[in-house]
Structure 1
Amino acid sequence: MPSKIVLIQGHPDKDGKRLCRQLADAYAQGVSDAGHQLRRIDLASLDFPLLASQYAYDHEPIPPGLAGAVADLLWADHIVLVFPLWMGTMPALVKAFFEQALRPGGTFVRDDKGGAQSLLAGRTARLVVTMGMPVPLFRFWFGGHGLKLIKRSILAFAGIRVVRHSLFGLVDTAGPDRIRGWLDEMRRAGASAH
């Protein structure tokens, strides 16, 4: 049975030459070649405001510019998020997206006791992260805190379990052969729906 995958492009720059965009395209190619279902969300192309208050989180509707993205999240079985590591974590645009999408009226419903229940519980995710530093430095010296943040405080909060991650380091100095290897890795990941 083909998987239903939503691929979130989290690079704020729309330039198609960005490595994050190339990795996402390679993953999408693998998904397509294997016959899985795919929907794509490009955060840089969405128009939505920052979440500015607890009242807005609890009571205001999801911004119209995010309605399609929220529907795609609800449709998917598996979520793939591609983003560059900026200042040790995800770009602000990625966090702003999740702040708006992962709330009541979008992917959560309120129960009669005032609590919230996630409509995304049981989904899986893969994180694809590019960075300028070596991956071991990120993992061991910095403790991988940017990865832990999104896994534990954002996705796990919504009931989404990260089952895989791909970390690509020293991207600014990577040569064509290395980049081709990374793109091949992403095509294989897409074909296996991981």
Structure 2
Amino acid sequence: MKVIIAEDQGMLRGALSALLDLEDDVEVIGQAENGEEAMRLILELGPDLCIMDIEMPRMTGLDVAERLKEQGHPCRIVILTTFSRSGYFQRAIKAGVHGFLLKDSPIDELGEALRKVHAGGRAISPELSLTFWEAENPLTEREREVLRLVAEGLSAGEIAKSLFLSGGTVRNYISEIMQKLEAKNRIDAISIAEKNGWLK
């Protein structure tokens, strides 16, 4: 199988490439240090799989996965990340990602996961609970919008003006958000939502 590695840390990218090249049935045909470059290489070289980090400059791994899905591109995406946030899992599934593995997984586990994905299956690190794949963002789009503005430091009055709502409605939204997230206060609500990738 032909593979592209997209990872912004050069040392890790090189190590992954060297280790995967030792596998008989894996050929690393390209390496990218950011999402834009990954997208270009995938379109130019047509790999079977792309191993992708989430947090990369220019475009994240999930941005690339979403763009490929929109275009109906056959390249299968395996996310390799240090982030086990349920919001990322949720977005990855919607983007058609086939694998979600942690960076500290053993290399033979990665090799097996690639084979499984190449054969049409899904692969997930055993350390990651299946509930992550099913975790739903409890906030509505409007609640996320309100919380993003709270995170930017806007007051309830400023948010009301910005979203053409009454102050009371905004306060109700904030109260509902804190209840849903079981947050002690607004700062706590922002922290919980960011940790789970629910503000993206």
* Same fold, TM-score > 0.5, yes or no: no
Q: Which has the higher helix share?
A: 2
TM-score by length of 1: 0.42
User: Which has the greater radius of gyration?
Assistant: 2
TM-score by length of 2: 0.41
Q: Which has the higher strand share?
A: 1
Structure with more relative contact order (C-alpha pairs < 8 Å, separation 6 or more): 1
